[in-house]
Structure 1
């Protein structure tokens, strides 16, 4: 599942390689990777964009007052993210909604598409989630300085602390935690996607090894797959809501 399972029956044991599904491989030519090499990751990033177009653009191109099934799905996703942005950022969030909605849909579709057998999960790679997190971090920092100037640094100054010495210590801690944001933001998403897919592949390797009792790991895989589907949606939500929270810090210095 999510990349397929490799089984070794020659020795009668279990030969599971759960991390093989995350290897980036060229689609054409030799095994070498260059700057412009088309890989399985490139393919599934493009598939994610195509899925987003099919899910959002086509059903709403000829929108009707009484929405059909696909139009209802597209509008529900739109309103879900719109309400999230409005609740956290208020009126200031309207100008950032297109970007936040794009991030949410990209991560959601990439996560869910990665559950398709023999597929590839781009968001299980820190190279992908790291870029997304860095874009958020740099954007938030630039917006903060553009809106508040050097007063943006007051975000790290805990004025409620009783002594200046404690405020200086807390300033350093807050500054470090701010620069750690891209790491935690990206690792959380990549780690959750990688862990679940690896567990699915391990259970898949038990199926042929157990013979008739292979129905047990199949049943377990069914439950894990349902959990992974939930995790795929929740992780897209978490990444998006953290983006909104970081933007709120930059806008209002909370």
Structure 2
């Protein structure tokens, strides 16, 4: 929010990320319905509308909504098959759900008076940890102890292998951290900058410049919303390849 008064001009770009209860003004508990809950629910309803309602009456000549659903389906299916391999295709529904939830959450967050759920590390961390645990469990279930061969770089000199193994383990354990922070950080930063320029738009002197800059940043944020959903999804496919493919040496 931008205010002008005795204390000068001020903008509070981080206010848009405050988690608030939907009913009342009490403290937020783990069971409290909040604005985060609301917009995650709306994202899920949008997915339902796209893939259930749009394909309910499938035809040889698809409707526009059915065409959109088919494009998303084919795009993610090809990504999973190309990156994770044929064995990874069986996990396509999970990857597809992740992509759609993140994409729609990102896009819905650009609507006026909305809330960007994927700008919160609490949301993206849960998604990243689910991917991490899922990939790890799938790898152990499919390969047993052979899954841990990915940490042993057999092509390196014998003296360096233990050191490289430790580095590989640390890198593997850091995956959910980088996976979640990348998504939340990019969205939070972009929305904060957008709010700053929107605040300057209330000043008559710089309004034209601020409005032009806000419009350009909004267009950039649309691109970031799509790209970050893609990046999160393709990294999931890369991690999945470790579980279903051959260990690297």
- What TM-score do the two structures reach when normalised by structure 2? 0.96
Matched pairs, number = 247
Q: 2:185 matched to which residue of 1?
A: 191
What aligned pairs does 1:80-99 form with structure 2 within 5 A after superposition? 80-99=75-94
**Deviation for aligned residue 1:13:** 3.7
Does 2:148 match 1:153? Answer: yes
User: Does residue 221 of the first structure (1) align with residue 218 of the second (2)?
Assistant: no
- Aligned residue for 1:61, secondary structure, equals coil
**Backbone CA RMSD of aligned residues:** 1.1
CA distance in 2, matches of 1:153, 1:195: 37
Task: Please state how far the C-alpha of 1:212 moved relative to its aligned partner.
Answer: 4.9
Deviations 1:97-130 (A, max 9, x none): 0000000000000000000011001100110000
Unaligned runs of 5+ in 2: none
- Distance in 2, matches of 1:92 and 1:153, equals 19
CA contact (8 A) 1:82 1:97 kept: yes
Residue number in structure 2 paired with 1:201: 195
Structure 1 alignment gaps of length 5 or more: 1-5
Matches within 5 A, 1:47-58: 47-58=42-53
* Among 70, 73, 76, the residue aligned to 1:75: 70
Q: Distance in 2 between matches of 1:96 and 1:221?
A: 40
Alpha-carbon deviation of 1:241?
A: 0.4
Q: Is residue 199 of structure 2 the alignment partner of residue 172 of structure 1?
A: no
Work out the CA distance in 1 between the residues paired with 2:221 and 2:114: 15
Deviates more, 1:177-186 or 1:70-79: 70-79
Map of 2:232 onto structure 1: 239
Question: After TM superposition, where is structure 1 displaced by more than 6 Å over at least 4 residues in a row?
Answer: none
Give distance in 1, aligned partners of 2:206 and 2:37.
38
- Partners of 1:21 and 1:114 lie apart in 2 by 10
